[in-house]
Structure 1
Amino acid sequence: MTEIATRVRAWAKGMYPTEAGAELLIRHGAIHDGAPWLTDHGGLTSIDTFVLLDETGAWSGGERRIVAIAASLLDGAPVDLCDIIPGLDRKNLALVLAAIAHANGSHEDGGIRFSDDGVPLGFYRDSSLYPWPEPISR
C-alpha cells in the first residue's frame, strides 16, 4: 500500500460512500503522488472531485466512467448509469460492484446466531456482498 493511498483512506474513513469512492479511485490507479486532484492536509489527503472531473478530458472512456462513479460516491454528483454501466469492461465493473456494496455497508452486515432451540449463541458478521478485487495494474 502506498503512503498516498493510506492518507486518502484516512481522509475518507467513516462514511461508507466516501470510503467507496476513494477506494474505487485507489484501486483503479487514479490516486498517485502529484495528482492535481489531491490536496494534502498534514497526514490526510483529500480528493477534489471538481478538479478530478475537469482533468479527465484525455482519459479513456472507461477511465472517465470510473471517475464519474467515484465522484458521485464522494460528493453526490449525479451520474447517468444508463450511459456509464454498459461501457465498463469486466475489471472496471468488478470495481464498481465492490464500491456499491461498500457504500451500502454490506461489509458490516451481521446479526445474532441462534441454536436450533432458539437460544442466542452470539453475534456474527457477514463478508461483503461483493468484495474488492485486486487493484488494476497500470
Structure 2
Amino acid sequence: MYTIEAATELLIRGFGGKFAAPGNPWVYTSSEPQGTGQVSAWIDFAAIPEEAGVLSGGERRFLLLAASLAEDVPVDLGDLVPGLDRSNLELVLAAIAHAGGSHQHSNIKTSDDGSMVLGKGYLDSLHPWPQDRPASQPAH
C-alpha cells in the first residue's frame, strides 16, 4: 500500500504535477461524479514504461522510478538515479522512505535490562516529503 502511495505522490509532486493530470495515457478517471466537482482517478503504473518513451530523459527516469515503486517494473537504479536533478532526487528519496513505511515505524527502545520497550507514537520519516519537512529540519 505504501509503495502505491509513494509512487502516486511522486507523480503529484514532481514536474509540477503534470504526470498525475488527466490526459496522460496512464491516468484514468471515472465518468461518474463522486461528489460535487469530484471524480475518481487512478494511475496505471504498468503502462508508464511503454507510454513514457517520447519524454525527455529526466522525465522518463522519474516516471520509471515511480512505476517501479508501484508495480513490477524493473529499473536499473545505477542508470536512472544519476540523471535526476536535485529536486526530483529529493522527491525520490522521500518516496523510498515512504514506500518503506518509515513514517509508521514504532519507537522501540532498549531498556537498561536489555528488554525491548515500545515508546509512544511513531518515529518521523527517515526522509520527509519536501513540503512536509518541519521548519527546524533543513533541506539536504
* Alignment TM-score > 0.5, same fold: yes
Question: Which amino acid is 1:57 matched to?
Answer: G
Q: Percent identity?
A: 52
Q: Distance in 2 between matches of 1:49 and 1:25?
A: 10
Q: Which residue of 1 aligns with 2:49?
A: 53
User: Alpha carbons of 1:71 and 1:122: their partners in 2 closer, same or farther (altered >3 Å)?
Assistant: closer
**Once superposed, which parts of structure 1, at least 4 consecutive aligned residues long, lie more than 6 Å away?**
113-116
Structure 1 length normalisation: TM-score? 0.74
When Rg is computed on C-alpha atoms for both structures, the one with the higher figure is 2
Q: Which residue of 2 aligns with 1:125?
A: 122
User: Alpha carbons of 1:121 and 1:110: their partners in 2 closer, same or farther (altered >3 Å)?
Assistant: closer
Q: What is the CA deviation profile of residues 8-33 of structure 1, one whole-angstrom value per residue up to 9, with x for unaligned ones?
A: xxxxxxx0111111111111121113
Q: Does structure 1 residue 20 correspond to structure 2 residue 6?
A: yes
Question: Alignment length, in residue pairs?
Answer: 120
Structure having the higher strand fraction is 2
Contact 2:108–2:119 under 8 Å retained in 1 = yes
Q: What is the CA deviation profile of residues 38-78 of structure 1, one whole-angstrom value per residue up to 9, with x for unaligned ones?
A: 12245532211243322222211111011001001111211
Q: Structure 1 residue 36: deviation in Å? A: 2.2
Q: Distance in 2 between matches of 1:74 and 1:96?
A: 13
Question: Which amino acid is 1:32 matched to?
Answer: A
Structure 2 length normalisation: TM-score? 0.73
Q: What is the CA deviation profile of residues 74-120 of structure 1, one whole-angstrom value per residue up to 9, with x for unaligned ones?
A: 1121100110111111111101100100000001112257999x9x7
Question: Which amino acid is 2:24 matched to?
Answer: A
Q: Does structure 1 residue 89 correspond to structure 2 residue 85?
A: yes
Contact 1:24–1:70 under 8 Å retained in 2 = yes
User: Alpha carbons of 1:91 and 1:115: their partners in 2 closer, same or farther (altered >3 Å)?
Assistant: same
Q: Does structure 1 residue 66 correspond to structure 2 residue 55?
A: no
Contact 1:113–1:123 under 8 Å retained in 2 = no
Q: Distance in 2 between matches of 1:64 and 1:48?
A: 15
Segments of structure 1 that go 5 or more residues without pairing to the other structure are 1-14
Q: Which residue of 2 aligns with 1:11?
A: none
Aligned-residue CA RMSD (Å): 2.6
User: Alpha carbons of 1:97 and 1:34: their partners in 2 closer, same or farther (altered >3 Å)?
Assistant: same
Segments of structure 2 that go 5 or more residues without pairing to the other structure are 35-39, 132-140
Contact 1:115–1:121 under 8 Å retained in 2 = no
